[in-house]
A and B are shown apart, each in its own frame.
Chain A
């Protein structure tokens, strides 16, 4: 009998090696990467946890069986199932888009390796080992974030720095909690643990003032690799936070729980909403828009209710639609403009790269939370839920969405400027996008709009995922 958790760790790792070897053949390597992530994503939600499944002849897979690895237990629980399906399926989507826009980059092999590590982070018990695996994943993601022939990625370095700085807090927390079990009178240990956890997760999630890695990752890295970090790696950090809240219920009953999350979220919303329209580069605009999105999710968690948790989880499920679309458009535009994504350099490029422009705009709509886009589904519900109790927060959230959209509008204005013919009346040649890229762009846009028009597709999944966490009352 093969234990499921072991397969979830080893298959992506083995496939990462195979995809790396086959990287020269872009379509084949992309097919393998997409297929692996898709198959594992489907398997993790469809295979039963409580009974083994016949796989190949007499061989059986037991998804719910615990495995011991380096003396630590790896176990797939109900809450982690959905979380892991989210990681794998999002990765499949990103690999699919990367097939057209960054076909020979290290994103697919490194992404599969990262999936293995992040799966391990969600499966391993006790939780402190998870943060070590997330740290290893952060170091490995540098190889995917670094664009070939470009200066070193400042965003990657900052991401690694902030993740490393988050490591001590979580590790020491475990020791403090072990001591508290022995000496329950020392309440100060719990307060110290709560403070350390708060700072560590603020670093991991890019909460203001530790947010500088977020726009940097989006601004100067391979855009889809940046999206991988901002959705999948960041998603793993989110699920780790929820696991901590589930494992240690006293964190949830801490008097500052709601206000801490709300304040941190609103700070991100305000900073992102103010700085997004002021950006003069599309990459940085994407980063600040992502900051607003993350802030909104923290505000939702700060509501301290099952509805808030559902909305926070829905935001995680929906975020890849917006960010991946923006990153795809950004990659297409950068590739046709010597890797320069400043508004001045992009003037008029929208006419030569219409599909990249369209994908970028639809992604921007979703990240800003505007109607007819995936992001609208949770942002509007959050505003409605916040309106009776804290109308100021709802207003700030709406204004931040307008700010992000203003940034996208400025970018679109630059892209759609009618280019003046240069001297000699000859425009520089720009590589056409091709019908395959157009088809991929149409599929991505339809998926984003489809989720926006039919929120009943993802919302019940978020509600079911929220039900697996018991730390909040219904």
Chain B
């Protein structure tokens, strides 16, 4: 049976522009979609593409550990959202059902706006690659870094729901991590950045639970 390292070696042909395209699609999905299943799948794939690019900068073993941390985060989100959506469904079943048609229309307008904003950020990231190239990393990795950081910040700025902000923070951190491993490949920094990501995921999950317990409300004052 092939190990994770063997698997990464076999998929190394993807570790260039195909991985960057994968990052663009998955990060874009996170920005546009509000469905938790799609978001968890997109985040899982995003970590996979980031690991592929990381194999070009650091040892595959270290990249694989980073990937495992990422997939554990996805597992935390999956379990939290699964429980939260079950609770929300049971609460919704007790109250009056909202108009599905109206809701679809609202979601569609929001998704269109997010898509447009995502495209603008992607164009800005491409321009940044030409104007402000990052040191010590190849051009395609630079593009991936800018895309992840930009779309992560967009995700944070577009909403105040804990899960959305959490996904944005993790996407932003992935972008920075991809750049920083080339500057400082030490294991201590890798471990601490992994701990930061995992704790952000736990804090986000805690706030998502609080949101469900409080009936889906997010404080606005």
Residue interface mask B19-32, A partner, CB < 8 A = 1: 00000000000000
A286: CB under 8 A from chain B? no
Partner of A160, one of B203, B218, B219: B203
**In the bound complex, CA of A139 to CA of B205 (Å):** 12
A370: CB under 8 A from chain B? no
B191 contacts across to A, CB distance below 8 A: 70
B217: CB under 8 A from chain A? yes
The interface on chain A, measured as residues whose beta carbon lies within 8 A of the other chain's beta carbons, has a size of 35
Is there an interface contact between A140 and B188, defined as CB atoms closer than 8 Å?
no
Is there an interface contact between B202 and A139, defined as CB atoms closer than 8 Å?
yes
B207: CB under 8 A from chain A? yes
Is there an interface contact between A172 and B210, defined as CB atoms closer than 8 Å?
no
Interface residues of B (CB under 8 A from A): 153, 156, 160, 162, 165, 169, 172-173, 176, 180, 183-184, 186, 188-189, 191-193, 195-196, 199-200, 202-203, 206-208, 210-211, 213-214, 217-221
Partner of B207, one of A157, A167, A219: A157
Interface hits, A139-158 → B, CB 8 Å: 139-140, 142-143, 146, 149-154, 156-157
Is there an interface contact between B210 and A152, defined as CB atoms closer than 8 Å?
yes
Is there an interface contact between A146 and B221, defined as CB atoms closer than 8 Å?
no
Is there an interface contact between B165 and A157, defined as CB atoms closer than 8 Å?
yes
B202 contacts across to A, CB distance below 8 A: 139
Partner of A154, one of B160, B200, B213: B160
Is there an interface contact between B219 and A132, defined as CB atoms closer than 8 Å?
no
CB distance from B11 to the nearest CB of A (A): 28
- New contact pairs (5) apart from A142-B203, A156-B207, A167-B196, CB-CB < 8 Å: A132-B189, A151-B217, A164-B196, A174-B184, A281-B221
Query: Closest chain A residue to B216 by CB distance?
Result: A151
CB distance from A70 to the nearest CB of B (A): 5
Is there an interface contact between A161 and B188, defined as CB atoms closer than 8 Å?
no
Is there an interface contact between A157 and B162, defined as CB atoms closer than 8 Å?
yes
B208 contacts across to A, CB distance below 8 A: 152
B188 contacts across to A, CB distance below 8 A: 70-72, 129
Of A154, A219, A281, the most chain B CB neighbours within 10 A belong to A154
Is there an interface contact between A151 and B169, defined as CB atoms closer than 8 Å?
no
Of B156, B180, B188, B192, the most chain A CB neighbours within 10 A belong to B192
Is there an interface contact between B193 and A132, defined as CB atoms closer than 8 Å?
yes
Interface residues of A (CB under 8 A from B): 70-72, 129, 132-133, 135-136, 139-140, 142-143, 146, 149-154, 156-157, 160-161, 164-165, 167-168, 171-172, 174-175, 219-220, 281, 284
**In the bound complex, CA of A140 to CA of B199 (Å):** 7
CB distance from B180 to the nearest CB of A (A): 6
Query: Closest chain A residue to B188 by CB distance?
Result: A70
Partner of B221, one of A140, A152, A219: A219
Query: Closest chain A residue to B134 by CB distance?
Result: A172
Query: Closest chain B residue to A164 by CB distance?
Result: B169
The contact sample of 26 A-B pairs, CB cut-off 8 A, is A135-B196, A136-B195, A139-B199, A139-B203, A140-B199, A142-B203, A143-B203, A143-B206, A146-B207, A149-B214, A150-B210, A150-B219, A151-B217, A151-B219, A152-B210, A154-B218, A154-B220, A160-B169, A161-B165, A164-B200, A167-B173, A168-B180, A171-B176, A171-B180, A171-B184, A175-B184
**In the bound complex, CA of A168 to CA of B207 (Å):** 25
Is there an interface contact between A172 and B217, defined as CB atoms closer than 8 Å?
no
Partner of A132, one of B169, B192, B206: B192
Is there an interface contact between A153 and B196, defined as CB atoms closer than 8 Å?
no
Is there an interface contact between B221 and A220, defined as CB atoms closer than 8 Å?
yes
Q: A136-B192, A171-B184 are in contact. Are A160 and B200 (CB under 8 A)?
A: yes
For the complex of A and B, list the 5 residue pairs with the smallest distance between their C-beta atoms, beginning with the closest: A139-B199, A152-B207, A142-B203, A151-B214, A132-B192
A151 contacts across to B, CB distance below 8 A: 210-211, 214, 217-219
B172 contacts across to A, CB distance below 8 A: 164-165
Is there an interface contact between A161 and B156, defined as CB atoms closer than 8 Å?
yes
Is there an interface contact between B203 and A154, defined as CB atoms closer than 8 Å?
no
Is there an interface contact between A175 and B183, defined as CB atoms closer than 8 Å?
yes
Q: A139-B200, A161-B165, A172-B183 are in contact. Are A153 and B207 (CB under 8 A)?
A: yes
Is there an interface contact between A136 and B219, defined as CB atoms closer than 8 Å?
no
**In the bound complex, CA of A470 to CA of B217 (Å):** 50
CB distance from B150 to the nearest CB of A (A): 13
A142 contacts across to B, CB distance below 8 A: 203, 206-207
Of A129, A135, A157, A165, the most chain B CB neighbours within 10 A belong to A157
**In the bound complex, CA of A149 to CA of B213 (Å):** 6
Is there an interface contact between B176 and A167, defined as CB atoms closer than 8 Å?
yes
Partner of A157, one of B160, B180, B192: B160
Is there an interface contact between A136 and B199, defined as CB atoms closer than 8 Å?
yes
**In the bound complex, CA of A168 to CA of B196 (Å):** 13
Q: A71-B188, A152-B211 are in contact. Are A139 and B196 (CB under 8 A)?
A: yes
Partner of A152, one of B186, B189, B218: B218
Is there an interface contact between B221 and A284, defined as CB atoms closer than 8 Å?
yes
Query: Closest chain A residue to B199 by CB distance?
Result: A139
Of B169, B191, B208, the most chain A CB neighbours within 10 A belong to B169
Query: Closest chain B residue to A281 by CB distance?
Result: B221
**In the bound complex, CA of A153 to CA of B217 (Å):** 11
Query: Closest chain A residue to B157 by CB distance?
Result: A161
**In the bound complex, CA of A336 to CA of B195 (Å):** 39
A143 contacts across to B, CB distance below 8 A: 203, 206
Q: A154-B219, A161-B156, A175-B184 are in contact. Are A136 and B196 (CB under 8 A)?
A: yes
CB distance from A283 to the nearest CB of B (A): 9
**In the bound complex, CA of A220 to CA of B162 (Å):** 14
A157 contacts across to B, CB distance below 8 A: 160, 162, 165, 207
CB distance from A159 to the nearest CB of B (A): 10
